[in-house]
Structure 1
Amino acid sequence: MTTNTEIATLDGNAMIPAYVARPEGTPRGAIIVQQEVFGVDAGIRKKADDWAAKGYLAVAPDSFWRQKPGIELSPYIEAEMQQALDHMMAHDFDLGIRDIEAVIHWIRREESVAKVGFVGFCMGGKVAYMAAARTDIDASVGYYGVMIDQMLGEKHAISRPLMLHIPTADHFVDAAAQKAMHEGLDDHPRVTLHDYEGLDHGFAAEIGARRDEAGAALADERTEAFFAKNIG
């Protein structure tokens, strides 16, 4: 099952499908796991399950539920990759960040977990930056986030810790975009950037040939320490 929970939107007029993984005992905090363009697929569900195994309540909302809920697409099938990109292009990111706010509220009010972190991948990496700038999330992490260089005008609003993992050979985020990110964020007191030399987009994917084991292990180790410090 792709999702197992529904969370009310901010206006209460609709329900956001989500996959929720619960830890044994009282959660040490919560982590919102934000999908790539491929949906809440097996890889995203594994990431949520892994956070639950570490003691966190993990919530992976379906970003594309307004377009087509429950999609699971493959980056290795050309037609499905194109569908995924089309969904991203049609996605309303401003409305999507309101959905993230709704998830934050649900975690704090309905689940009684005060500290909430956010980790996003690809498109979700962009949302991690937006969450840091536009919500009261306690800490955010973005893996190979796209289009962050186009949102540097919002950096003044980042008041909680944000970590970004940047593969230097990312074919979706070119050298000029990476340079802009460093120039705009290196001196920000709340932002930490990590470069991964020679790695490409998707290097921390849980399934498939995109994964680089050493790079993923290093980035995940940094992320786990970051959340342990800022979430609990």
Structure 2
Amino acid sequence: MGRSLCSTTRCAICAALTAAAIAIGLIFILSYVYWWPTDNSTDKDGDMDNSVDPPSPEQPCPSGDFHTGYIATGSTVAVNSDVVAYLSRPVGTSCKGAVLIFHDIYGYGLPANQQVADDLAQNGYVAILPDLFRGNPWQPDMYEYVEWKTSHSQERIDGDIDATVSFIRSALSVDNLAVVGFCWGGLQSVFASARLSIDAAVAFYGVGITPDDLISMNKPTLLLHGQNDTIISVTDVELLESTLHNANRLLQSVDDLETGALRGPPSYVKIFEDVGHSFAHRGDMDDPVIRQASEEAFNDMYRWISRFTPG
């Protein structure tokens, strides 16, 4: 009977230990789920977490389609001892002027950026695309975006842009000049509109543009954005638009001729429906919506440049 009692006691102890182990395991699992939410799970406050690391101007824009299959038709030239540029000239047609292109964060060597230059050349413009990152563009496998961005000071970039403008005027012997920029380069277009002696500016989905930047613009400037842009929200774009409207500097359309009542150089803001960031030059052209928006945006660019650039 003594052995039976001991055996019973051992069984009770084993059962208790097993129950405790199960309880500890459940606590661990529940704690893991509670404190370490995955995408579309609940966080520790019970809220849906659908925006882990949302894009922002402090993060690189989506890479999109680099158009790596595109074969460029231009050439590389030396602006000076520090800066090289991709140059594309019109062939078989008279020159309408020059367009200085500001590339996105992926650099002047990206086929999608060079394709823009070649298209401008085919439409009669001398197109020059300087390497404003001096051989150090953002790469998709990099990690420290803010550190990389701050390594390229605006002061140094302005100097390289000024050198390129001088190169256009002297070496290329072209006086009429417009600027066109994409993403990071769109911001540079707005800066150029404020400080450079140019005829017109176009900014495709410029990142980081502030209302003060717009008020400082001194040249006709066209701003083009995508409705579904995750880097620059529609709310942000509407703020820019209202800033220009309140300053009485906003046209009603790209072709609006009523500029007499404006209190400064004209501008226009256009939002394209159902497309996101980089839709015009790095979008998926197999998507008919993106292709149509891209074609319309570039047509707007050409109309704007032609209207305000004499030639």
**What TM-score, normalized to structure 1?**
0.83
- Separation in structure 2 between the aligned mates of residue 210 and residue 130 of structure 1, nearest angstrom: 33
| 1:221 partner amino acid | N
Q: Deviations over 1:44-81 (max 9, x none)?
A: 1111111111111100011210xxx16584xxxx525x
Give CA-to-partner distance per residue, 1:165-223, whole Å, 9 cap, x none: 02122111124422321121233242111111232101012465797101101100110
What is residue 171 of structure 1 aligned with on the other side? 230
Name stretches of at least 5 consecutive residues in structure 1 with no aligned partner.
Answer: 9-13
Who is 1:101 aligned against?
A: 162
Matching of residue 197 in structure 1 with residue 273 in structure 2: yes
| Alpha-carbon spacing, 1:94–1:177, altered in 2? closer, same or farther (3 Å) | farther
Structure 1 residue matching 2:242: 3-state secondary structure: helix
Q: CA RMSD in A?
A: 2.5
Give the CA deviation at 1:89.
Answer: 4.3
Aligned pair count?
217
Distance 1:43 1:60 in 2: 12
Listed one character per residue, the Cα deviations across residues 142-170 of structure 1 (whole Å, up to 9, x for unaligned) are 00000112xx2243432221000021221
Aligned-pair identity (%): 24
Is the 2:224–2:297 Cα contact (8 Å) retained in structure 1? yes
The letter of the residue matching 1:183 is S
Matched, 1:214 2:282: no
Is 2:164 the counterpart of 1:92?
Answer: no
Q: How does 1:97-176 map to 2 (within 5 A)?
A: 97-149=158-210, 152-176=211-235
For 1:20 and 1:70, how far apart are their aligned partners in 2? 19
Distance 1:201 1:85 in 2: 19
Structure 1 window deviating more from structure 2 (153-162 vs 101-110): it is 153-162
The amino acid across from 1:63 in the alignment is L
TM-score, normalised relative to structure 2: 0.63
- Structure 2 gap segments, 5+ residues each: 1-71, 250-261
For CA contacts below 8 A with separation 6 or more, give which structure has more relative contact order: 1
Distance 1:122 1:111 in 2: 27
1:63-103, CA deviations, whole angstroms, 9 ceiling, x for partnerless residues?
210xxx16584xxxx525x4777543432123212322221
Q: How has the CA–CA distance of structure 1 residues 104 and 221 changed in structure 2, closer, same or farther, with 3 Å as cutoff?
A: same
